[in-house]
Structure 1
Amino acid sequence: MSRSKPLENYLNILYYCESMDLIAIIGILIGLGAVVAGNIAEGGTTAHLIQLAAAIIVFGGTIGAVLLSFTPKDLIYAFLCLKFAFLKRKVNIDETVETILDLLVIARRKGILALQEEIPKIQDPLLRRGINYIIDGISPAIIKEALYQEVYAYEDILRRAAKVYDSAGGYAPTIGIIGAILGLIHVLKNVAEPSKIGIGIATAFVATIYGVGSANLIFIPIAKRIINKMEEEILLMELIIEGVLGIEAGVNPYFLRAKLEAFIKDRQRERI
Structure 2
Amino acid sequence: MDLVSIIGTILGILVIIVGTVLKGSTVGALWNPAAFVIVFFGTFAALLVQNQGKVLKHALSMLSMIYRPPRHRPDDLIRRIVGWSEISRRQGLLGLESQIDSESDPFIIKGLQLLVDGSEPEVLRGVLEVDLDTRESVDLAGAKVYENAGIYSPTLGIIGAVMGLMAVMQNLADPSKLGHGIAAAFVATIYGVALANMFMLPMAARLKGLISRQTQMREIVIEGLASIAQGDNPRQIEARLQGYLE
Same fold (TM over 0.5): yes
Query: Which of residues 34, 56, 80 is equivalent to 2:15?
Result: 34
Alignment of 1:77 onto 2:48: no
Alignment of 1:175 onto 2:156: yes
**Corresponding position of 1:106:** 87
Alignment of 1:58 onto 2:59: no
TM-score scaled by length of structure 2:
0.96
TM-score scaled by length of structure 1:
0.87
C-alpha displacement of 1:225: 0.7
Contact 1:51 1:202 (C-alpha < 8 Å) held by counterparts: yes
Query: Which of residues 72, 82, 94 is equivalent to 2:75?
Result: 94
Work out the CA distance in 2 between the residues paired with 1:152 and 1:23: 30
Contact 1:239 1:264 (C-alpha < 8 Å) held by counterparts: no
| CA deviations over 1:216-242 (Å, ceiling 9, x no partner) | 111111111110111111111101111
Work out the CA distance in 2 between the residues paired with 1:123 and 1:142: 23
Work out the CA distance in 2 between the residues paired with 1:252 and 1:71: 47
Which piece of structure 1 moves more, 83-92 or 215-224? 83-92
For structure 1, list consecutive stretches of 5 or more residues without a partner in the other structure.
1-19, 266-272
Alignment of 1:239 onto 2:223: no
Amino acid at match of 2:102: K
Contact 2:112 2:225 (C-alpha < 8 Å) held by counterparts: yes
C-alpha displacement of 1:128: 1.6
**Corresponding position of 1:119:** 100
Alignment of 1:151 onto 2:159: no
C-alpha displacement of 1:25: 1.5
Work out the CA distance in 2 between the residues paired with 1:73 and 1:121: 31
Number of aligned residue pairs: give it: 246
| CA deviations over 1:71-105 (Å, ceiling 9, x no partner) | 12221221111122221222111110111111111
Contact 2:38 2:188 (C-alpha < 8 Å) held by counterparts: yes
**Corresponding position of 2:201:** 220
For structure 2, list consecutive stretches of 5 or more residues without a partner in the other structure.
none
C-alpha displacement of 1:261: 0.8
SS at match of 1:251: coil
Work out the CA distance in 1 between the residues paired with 2:139 and 2:192: 24
Work out the CA distance in 1 between the residues paired with 2:75 and 2:105: 14
- CA RMSD, Structure 1 to Structure 2 (Å): 1.2
Identity within the alignment, %: 37
Work out the CA distance in 2 between the residues paired with 1:93 and 1:104: 16
| CA deviations over 1:90-122 (Å, ceiling 9, x no partner) | 211111011111111111111111111111112
